[in-house]
Amino acid sequence: MRIALCTDGVFPQAMGGMQRHSRLLAEHLAAHADIELTVLHPHPTLVFDPDLGINEVYIKPIDERRFYLRELYTYSGRVAQALDGIPADVILSQGFCVVKGIERFSHRLIIHPHGLEMFQGLTRRDRIVGAPFRSGLKHIVRHAAVTISLGGKLTPLLQGMVSGTGGRVAVLPNAVEVPSSPWAYPEDGGTLHILFVGRFAFNKGIDVLLAVASRLLTEGHGDRFRFILAGDGPERARMEREGLPANVQLVGKVDDAQLNTLYAECHALLLPTRFEGMPTVVLEAMARARPVLVSDVGASAELVDASNGYLLPPGNAAALHDALLQFADRSQQERTTMGRAGYARALARFSWPAVTAGFVALFRQVAAARQ
């Protein structure tokens, strides 16, 4: 079975969740003996290990100095020209890589729009900026054989777009590398280390986290929690200028090794995000047997429930405050059990082998429907 994977970048040559997804999915697909994989990407040199047997096709990249949407459309035209010369049984497009000339690929095209951020803007400006992307995605979805949803609240949104088009929605979650055994849970020593990993931006709920941290201090709970914030972004300068609560530690950007250390030392991951697709950091925490406190947005309910954490209303500082105190009142064994439950779920449903098997099954369905 011949698969063409179209992407606008491959990690680490290009940064981002979709770009990391492209790399890992390609590497795991290449392990299937019955798949001949071609990856179309904008990197002039080979990005995959030659031993994987992945065919790589260079596509002239987007000129980031120019109008992005026009450049994205032009890039999709170059992808289409390349696809015309590739005898693929199934085409998988990440995001907006297949737009121009999409009609001639519709019968074998799978679209993966990922987190649908353009539908989750909070401000008027967000909604205005997202409008052309919403329109573009609706056009793409209406011309695809299958559109992939990460699950949760994202699925009905996509089902509404494909209604009456002849296409369908398939649910395939994000994936994570899962260790062979769950990591040991740390002793708390009287203070719980609560880890945040993400972009320091308003939509991630940083303001909610800081408000709760301050409230816990004023209530005399300062010794019970230490919030460790890893990442960077537009809110960082303001946070540093205004000062952080004494129970908050800012560690900034971290590499993979440093991040693993933070996961190993933390007692829970906290992501008070206002909107999301399927958060990779939540999957990473689950894979490392750490409980999770996360907002009930996007597909996060696919990952977290009462067995492995707390699913919270977005933007609700009172709910987060109460959940943290409830979590602190749990015993060491109860928190360990929560982490182990998350690990078991990650291994069964969200490991790369499990998710890749779902992709392969979907490819076979699309290929069979053409015969």
- Rounded mean pLDDT for each run of 10 residues along the chain, 371 residues in total: 96 82 95 95 95 96 83 93 95 94 94 78 65 82 94 91 87 95 92 93 91 96 93 84 91 89 97 90 96 95 97 96 97 97 97 96 92 63
Domain 2-175+351-369 has CATH 3.90.550.10: no
Instruction: Provide the β-strand partners of residue 196.
Output: 229
Neighbours of 92 (CB within 10 A): 29
Closest residue by Cα to residue 234 from 210, 273, 198: 198
Neighbours of 199 (CB within 10 A): 15
Please name the helix (run of DSSP H) or strand (run of DSSP E) that holds residue 73, with its range, or none.
helix 68-83
The answer for residues whose C-beta is within 8 angstroms of residue 235's C-beta and 6 or more apart is 200, 201, 202, 206, 207
- Matching residue, tokens 């699950």: 151
Q: What is the spatial distance between Cα 311 and Cα 329, in angstroms, rounded to a whole number?
A: 17
Q: What is the spatial distance between Cα 162 and Cα 154, in angstroms, rounded to a whole number?
A: 13
Please name the helix (run of DSSP H) or strand (run of DSSP E) that holds residue 23, with its range, or none.
helix 17-29
pLDDT digits (tens, 9 = 90+) for 295-346: 999 999 999 999 999 999 999 999 999 999 999 999 999 999 999 999 999 9
- Tally DSSP H helices, then E strands, for the chain: 11, 13
Work out the burial of residue 239: count CB atoms within 10 Å of its CB; fewer than 13 is exposed, 13-18 middle, 19 or more buried: middle
Is residue 177 helix, strand or coil? coil
Res 35: pLDDT: 95
Is residue 77 helix, strand or coil? helix
Res 369: pLDDT: 86
Res 246: pLDDT: 94
The answer for residues whose C-beta is within 8 angstroms of residue 214's C-beta and 6 or more apart is 245
Closest residue by Cα to residue 195 from 125, 295, 288, 265: 265
Determine contact, residues 47/14, Cβ cutoff 8 Å.
no
Buried b or exposed e, range 2-24, using 16+ CB within 10 angstroms:
bbbbbbbbbbeebeebbbbbbbb
Domain boundaries, the chain: 2-175+351-369, 192-349
pTM across the whole model: 0.87
Q: What is the spatial distance between Cα 13 and Cα 20, in angstroms, rounded to a whole number?
A: 10
Q: What is the spatial distance between Cα 357 and Cα 110, in angstroms, rounded to a whole number?
A: 16
Which CATH entry fits the domain spanning 192-349: 3.40.50.2000, 3.40.50.150, 1.10.10.10, 1.10.1240.10? 3.40.50.2000
Res 59: pLDDT: 96
> Number of C-alpha atoms within 13 angstroms, CB side, residue 260?
7
Res 238: pLDDT: 85
Closest residue by Cα to residue 6 from 99, 69, 71, 68: 99
Q: What is the spatial distance between Cα 144 and Cα 138, in angstroms, rounded to a whole number?
A: 10
Same fold across 2-175+351-369 and 192-349:
yes
Closest residue by Cα to residue 90 from 369, 367, 368, 370: 367
